[in-house]
């Protein structure tokens, strides 16, 4: 019996070769081919075949040849089957020879007698990758949670897609900084999880983003220049005062746009550290 459950079939050759057959003839033909592949040459045609499929067999018997000993075969399928059997037998014999050389045993089956020490070494080797895997997956779980929550809140605060998408890489970096802060200050995982829960609730991020904008403007002197220009102009505006006011307004609006596009990672890190310190007390 052939161990391989399938035989190669050329779709184009099948369509061309069976173009003149009826559907019943094709059905009987493929059944006979499958039977030959599994069991070898057809020893005899089933007694019912000439009776029930007389017309079909009258056409199909031209597809088979005499194989001797009262058997018939389809020549092409028979040659393919012999070729596959030869390959399988060679592979089997090669495997047995390799086993005899490797284990030095005259028998065809390899002898495996592992010691207790070998078993212990194998157990250690199997456990080690599992420990490494758990260690590497611990860090991303913390800072990706921070990144996801920040992005969602940022999208609510600034609906324009082009604005909040720019936060992706910076937020992930901010999450890493938070994790480093947690490790350097000897935080427990429970404490860092509590911090994340507190940060990601309500409208925390939308409020903090506006606060960041104010901080950035003060650092650049934009807010101060804007207020001074307004006070200097008064009711009677001279050319210098008007120009200063226009410049201040333009700078003020530009800084607001920049803050809406992306929050600086340094300020993000400082803010998180301040929140973390106050939370820990």
- Name the DSSP letter for residue 41: S
Which segments of 123-258 are extended strands (E)?
none
The answer to whether 101 and 29 are in contact (CB under 8 A) is: no
Residue bearing tokens 């058997």: 71
The answer to whether 64 and 42 are in contact (CB under 8 A) is: yes
Please check the confidence at residue 90 and state whether its pLDDT lies above 50.
Answer: yes
Q: How confident is the model at residue 139 (pLDDT cuts 50, 70, 90)?
A: very low
How many of the other CB atoms lie within 10 Å of CB of 3? 8
- Residue 154 burial (CB < 10 Å; 0-12/13-18/19+)? buried
pLDDT in tens, 221-233: 544 555 555 555 4
Which segments of the chain are extended strands (E)?
65-68, 71-73
Which are the contacts of 116, defined by CB distance < 8 A and separation ≥ 6?
none
Q: Mean pLDDT throughout 227-249?
A: 59
Task: Kindly report the average pLDDT of the chain as a whole number.
Answer: 63
The model's pTM: 0.32
pLDDT in tens, 170-181: 555 555 555 565
Q: Three-state secondary structure along 213-239?
A: HHHHHHHHCHHHHHHHHHHHHCCCCCH
pLDDT at 42: 82
Please check the confidence at residue 126 and state whether its pLDDT lies above 60.
Answer: no
């Amino acid at each position: 019996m052939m161990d391989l459950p399938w035989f190669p079939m050329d779709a184009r050759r099948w369509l061309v070769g069976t173009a003149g057959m009826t559907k019943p003839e094709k059905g009987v033909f493929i059944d006979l081919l499958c039977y030959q592949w599994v069991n070898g040459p057809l020893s005899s045609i089933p007694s019912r075949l000439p009776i029930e499929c007389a017309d079909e067999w009258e056409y199909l018997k031209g597809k088979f040849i005499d194989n001797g000993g009262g058997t018939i075969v389809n020549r092409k399928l028979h040659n393919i089957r012999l070729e596959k059997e030869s390959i399988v037998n060679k592979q089997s014999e090669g495997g047995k020879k390799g086993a005899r050389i490797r284990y030095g045993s005259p028998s065809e089956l390899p002898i495996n007698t592992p010691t207790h020490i070998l078993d212990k070494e194998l157990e250690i080797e199997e456990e080690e990758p599992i420990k490494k895997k758990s260690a590497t997956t611990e860090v991303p779980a913390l800072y990706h949670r921070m990144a996801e929550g920040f992005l969602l809140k940022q999208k609510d605060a600034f609906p324009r897609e082009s604005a909040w998408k720019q936060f992706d890489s910076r937020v992930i970096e901010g999450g890493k900084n938070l994790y480093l802060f947690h490790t350097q200050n000897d935080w427990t995982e429970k404490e860092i999880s509590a911090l994340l829960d507190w940060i990601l609730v309500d409208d925390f991020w939308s409020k903090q983003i506006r606060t960041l904008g104010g901080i950035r403007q003060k650092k650049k002197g934009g807010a101060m220049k804007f207020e001074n220009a307004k006070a200097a102009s008064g009711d009677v505006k001279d050319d210098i005062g008007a120009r200063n006011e226009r410049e201040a307004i333009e700078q003020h609006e530009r800084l607001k746009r920049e803050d809406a596009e992306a929050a600086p990672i340094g300020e993000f890190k400082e803010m998180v550290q301040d929140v973390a310190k106050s939370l820990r007390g």
